[in-house]
Amino acid sequence: MSQLYDLFIAPFTEFEFMRRALVGVFALALGAGPIGVFLMLRRMSLVGDAMAHAVLPGAAIGFLISGLSLFAMTAGGLIAGFVVALLAGLVSRATELKEDASLAVFFLISLAVGVTIISVRGTNIDLLHFLFGSVLALDDQTLILIAVNATVTLIGLAFIYRPLVLECVDPLYLRSVSTAGGPAHLIFLALLVINLVSGFHALGTLLAVGIMMVPAAIGRFWARDITTMIVVAVIAGTISGYAGLLLSFHTSAPAGPAVILVAGVLYAISLLFGSVGGLVRQLFPGRHLEA
């Protein structure tokens, strides 16, 4: 029992930075999991990745102005994310370039600009902080920001849940019976950006979207209805956060990548044994595997 306690519980009871990190990743999973599910169902997974990189130049400009200031980097990241989303939408509507292609162009430019700014005016440590986050160094202000963003996300999704679900199932029907699709899409993009900013502070710009998309993909292998998918995604995200922090603590592996690696292991297990479309289920669809 003592060994189990030392392995699974002691790191969080004995070290405050581990408790802070645990609260942070739990709040991230709670807000980002549902967003990831809707991104996946609406075939916008790469949009999430593009938006994650779009946050970087704004945060880098905030860093230039005020250093490692939570307010400056958050405000810069939010502004950059919204600007890139707006520009990509305008380009796709004003030209023949599709939205995914315009987003790809803007996210590559944004990533290059952000890395250049940090490299020229900062240090290698600053660059690593921006790219891979600092989940083990979360302070009270950052934790409050992540928790507030998660709360806003859940409240926002509650208001637009019906049109989001209808758009995932039958977008043509939604357009024929309601005009709520457009406003719901804009609110959804706003919720996406604020969750990416939260993920940026904890996991960095390269891994922020990982806490959204990998748990969402896990949920897809265990459920058919959207509500259950969201629940599974949130559970997968919290387990990944807890196990990833333990892996980092006991092996000295980087905490952010460790969280996503654990999520990757859960994804591999789900891919093989998931009750909805898992490989084993497809290879052996016998009566003994039926739910």
pLDDT of residue 44 exceeding 60, the answer is: yes
**What's the rounded mean pLDDT across residues 266-286?**
90
Pair 205, 224: CB distance under 8 Å: no
* Chain centre distance of CA 125: 23
pLDDT of residue 287: 58
230 touches 30 (CB < 8 A): no
Which whole-number Å values give the CA distances from 38 to 23, 86, 143, 267, in the listed order?
Answer: 24, 20, 25, 18
What integer pLDDT is reported at residue 269 of this predicted model? 97
pLDDT at 93: 63
Give the pLDDT confidence score for residue 249 in this predicted structure. Answer: 94
Q: How far is CA 29 from CA 2, 36, 71, 88, 255, in A?
A: 29, 10, 22, 27, 15
Q: What is the pLDDT of residues 3-41, one digit of tens each?
A: 888 889 999 999 999 999 999 999 999 999 999 999 999
Widest pairwise Cα distance in the chain:
65
Q: Give me the pLDDT at residue 288, please.
A: 52
CA distance 176 to 170: 10
- What is the pLDDT at residue 23? 96
For the chain, domains (ranges, CATH) are 1-280 (1.10.3470.10)
* For residue 118, pLDDT beyond 90: no
Look at residue 56 in the predicted model and tell me its pLDDT: 85
Model confidence band, residue 291 (pLDDT cutoffs 50, 70, 90): very low
- Intra-chain end-to-end CA distance of the chain, in Å: 35
Using a 10 angstrom Cβ sphere, with 0-12 exposed, 13-18 middle and 19 or more buried, the burial of residue 200 is buried
Residue 214 has pLDDT above 70, yes or no: yes
| pLDDT at residue 290 greater than cutoff 60 | no
Per residue in 88-111, pLDDT tens?
Answer: 667 666 776 666 666 777 777 887
pLDDT tens digits, residue range 225-268? 999 999 999 999 999 999 999 999 999 889 999 999 999 999 99
Q: Does residue 125 have a pLDDT over 70?
A: no
Give the SS3 label for residue 139. Answer: coil
**Ranges 36-45, 73-82, 167-176: which has the least confidence:** 167-176
pTM assigned to the model:
0.88
Using the predicted structure, report yes or no on whether residue 49 has a pLDDT greater than 80: no
Q: Nearest 5°: CA angle at 20, between 5 and 78?
A: 145
Name the residue with tokens 């039926």: 290
Query: What average pLDDT does the structure give for the chain?
Result: 86
Q: Is the pLDDT of residue 286 over 50?
A: yes
Task: State how far the Cα of 135 lies from the Cα of 182, in Å rounded to an integer.
Answer: 35
Measured distance CA(224)–CA(227) in Å, rounded = 9
